[in-house]
C-alpha cells in the first residue's frame, strides 16, 4: 500500500513524465463550448480518455444529439471502440453524458511498469479524439 503522500507523488511524477514524453498542447477544457471537455483519467485500476458533457440538462441534451448524429463517423474514422453513455454517473454521484475509451489492459498509476503503455494510449487515442473534434467543431458549436 502507498501512503496518500506517496500516491500523490506518483501521480505527479506520471503526469510530469507524460508531459515531457509527449509535449503538446491538448484541447481538454479549451473547447470553447461550455460544459464540453476532454479528459485523461488514470488511477490505480484503469486508464481512459473521455469527452464529458456537464452543462445543464437542456444544453447537455442538445450537445449529445449532435454527437449522436456524428457517432458513425467517430466510430468509422477515428475511434471504432468508443463507448457512448448518455447517463454516466461520476464517483461523486453527479450525472453527466460521456463518450469514452478505456485502455483494455489492467494498469495502475502506482505501477511504473504500466506508465509507458498508458502514455502511448493517451497520446494516440486523445489525438484521434481531438482530430474528430476539430474536424466537426463547427457542427458541435452550432
Domain positions in the chain: 4-141
Q: With bands split at pLDDT 50, 70 and 90, how would you rate the model's confidence at 55?
A: confident
Residue 89 pairs in a beta bridge with 95
Query: What pLDDT sits at residue 8?
Result: 93
Q: Over the chain, what is the mean pLDDT?
A: 94
Cα–Cα distances (Å) from 50 to 4, 57, 96, 130, in that order, read 26, 19, 12, 11
Q: How far apart are CA 132 and CA 138, in angstroms?
A: 11
Beta pairing, strands 95-102 & 47-53: antiparallel
Query: What pLDDT sits at residue 57?
Result: 87
142, pLDDT greater than 80: no
If DSSP codes are grouped into helix, strand and coil, which group holds residue 112?
helix
Number of CB atoms found within 10 A of residue 128's CB: 17
Beta pairing, strands 47-53 & 83-89: unpaired
> Is CATH 3.40.630 the classification given to domain 4-141?
no
Give this prediction's pTM: 0.92
Q: What is the mean pLDDT of residues 25-48?
A: 94
The 10s digit of each residue's pLDDT in 93-129 is 999 999 999 999 899 999 999 999 999 999 999 999 9
Amino acid at each position: 500500500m502507498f501512503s496518500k503522500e506517496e500516491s500523490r507523488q506518483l501521480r505527479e511524477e506520471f503526469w510530469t513524465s507524460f508531459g515531457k514524453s509527449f509535449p503538446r498542447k491538448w484541447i481538454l477544457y479549451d473547447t470553447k463550448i461550455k460544459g464540453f471537455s476532454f479528459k485523461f483519467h488514470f488511477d490505480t485500476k484503469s486508464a481512459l480518455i473521455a469527452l464529458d458533457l456537464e452543462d445543464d440538462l437542456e444544453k447537455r441534451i442538445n450537445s449529445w444529439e449532435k454527437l449522436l448524429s456524428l457517432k458513425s463517423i467517430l466510430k468509422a474514422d477515428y475511434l471504432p471502440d468508443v463507448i457512448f453513455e448518455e447517463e454516466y454517473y461520476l464517483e461523486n454521484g453527479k450525472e453527466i453524458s460521456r463518450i469514452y475509451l478505456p485502455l483494455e489492459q489492467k494498469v495502475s498509476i502506482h505501477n511504473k511498469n504500466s506508465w509507458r503503455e498508458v502514455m502511448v494510449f493517451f497520446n494516440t487515442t486523445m489525438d484521434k479524439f481531438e482530430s474528430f473534434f476539430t474536424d466537426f467543431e463547427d457542427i458541435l458549436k452550432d
